[in-house]
Structure 1
Amino acid sequence: TPGEAFEVTDGMKNAFDRDGFLLVRGLYSFAEIERLEKCLKLGHVTKHAFDLPDGDTMNSRMVIWNHPGVDYTGLFGRCRRWLTPLKKLLGGEVYHYHTKVNMKEPHTGGSFQWHQDYGYWYKNGILFPDLLSVMVAIHKCDRGNGCLKVLRGSHKFGRIDHVRIGGQNGADPERLKECQKVLEEVFVELEPGDGIFFHCNVLHSSEQNHSDRKRWVIIPCYNRMDNDPYVDHHHARATKLHKV
Structure 2
Amino acid sequence: MKLTPEQIEFFNREGWLFLPELFTPEETAFLAREAEAIYAADRPEVWREKSGAPRTAFAAHLYNDAFRVLAAHPRMIEPIEQIFGEKLYMHQFKINAKSAFTGDVWQWHQDYGTWKRDDGMPEPRAMNIAIFLDEVMPINGPLMLVPRSQHEGDLEASHDLATTSYPLWTLDEATVTRLVAAGGIVAPTGKPGGMLMFHGNLVHGSAGNITPYPRKIVYLTLNAVSNHIRTPTRPDYIAHRDYTPIATLPDDALLHLARSHREAAE
Give, in whole Å, the separation in 1 of the partners of 2:157 and 2:59. 23
* Contact in 1 for aligned 2:87/2:245 (Cα 8 Å): no
Write the distance in 1 (CA, Å) between the matches of 2:198 and 2:94: 15
Structure 2, unpaired ranges of 5+ = 250-266
Does the 8 Å contact 2:126/2:222 carry over to 1?
A: yes
Q: Which residue of 1 aligns with 2:230?
A: 230
Counterparts of 1:37-186 in structure 2, within 5 Å, are 37-43=32-38, 46-48=41-43, 49-52=46-49, 61-65=55-59, 68=62, 71-123=65-117, 124-165=119-160, 166-167=163-164, 168-169=167-168, 170-186=170-186
Deviation at 1:13, TM superposition (A): 0.9
Which amino acid in the other structure matches residue 183 of structure 2? L
Report the Cα distance in structure 2 between the residues aligned to 1:189 and 1:122, rounded to whole angstroms: 29
Residue aligned with 2:245, SS: coil
Matched residues in 1 for 2:193 and 2:85: separation? 25
Identity %: 21
- Look up the SS of the partner of 2:221 in the other structure: strand
Look up the equivalent residue of 2:201 and give its one-letter code: N
8 Å CA contact retained: 1:67, 1:96: no
Equivalent residue number for residue 245 of structure 2? 240
Contact 2:38 2:57 in 1 (8 A): no
* RMSD between aligned residues: 2.1
* Structure in which a larger fraction of residues adopt strand: 1
Distance 1:130 1:11 in 2: 21
Contact 1:20 1:199 in 2 (8 A): yes
Q: 1:172 to 1:46 in 2, by over 3 A?
A: farther
For the Cα contact (< 8 Å) 2:147–2:184, is it kept in 1? yes
Whether contact under 8 Å (1:117, 1:200) holds in the other structure is: yes
TM-score by length of 2: 0.82
The SS at the match of 2:150 is: helix
- Contact 2:108 2:205 survives alignment (8 Å): yes
Could you tell which deviates more after superposition, 112-121 or 173-182? 173-182
State the Cα distance separating 1:230 from its structure 2 match: 2.1
Given that 2:57 and 2:96 are in contact with CA atoms closer than 8 Å, whether structure 1 keeps it comes out as yes
**Equivalent residue number for residue 3 of structure 2:** 8
In structure 2, what is the Cα distance between the partners aligned to 1:162 and 1:21? Answer: 21
- Which AA in structure 2 matches 1:50? W
In 1, are the aligned partners of 2:134 and 2:192 still within 8 Å (CA)?
A: yes
1:47 Cα deviation (Å)?
A: 3.5
TM-score, structure 1 normalization: 0.89
- Structure 2 residue identity aligned to 1:180: V
Instruction: Indicate the residue corresponding to 1:199 in structure 2.
Output: 199
Distance (Å, rounded) in 1 between the aligned partners of 2:26 and 2:12 = 32
What amino acid is aligned across from residue 199 of structure 2 in structure 1?
H
**Cα distance in 2 for residues equivalent to 1:66 and 1:225:** 21
